[in-house]
Amino acid sequence: MKIGTAPWIRLFDATYDGYVSSFSVEIGFEHGTVLASMGHVVDLGDLSGFLSGLAEDFTGWDDTRTWHAAYRDVQLDAVFRSLGHVDLTWTMRSAEWSDCRWSASVTVTLDAGEDMRTLASDVRHVLHPD
CA 69, CA 43: separation in Å to the nearest integer? 9
pLDDT 10s digits, 39-95: 666 665 688 889 999 999 988 999 999 998 877 888 999 999 988 999 999 988 887
Q: Which residues contact 69 (CB under 8 A, 6 or more apart)?
A: 39, 40, 41, 75
Give pTM, 2 decimals. Answer: 0.83
Domains, the chain, in order of start with CATH, read 2-127 (3.30.2450)
Q: Edge-to-edge strand order for the sheet containing 103-111?
A: 64-68, 74-81, 85-93, 103-111
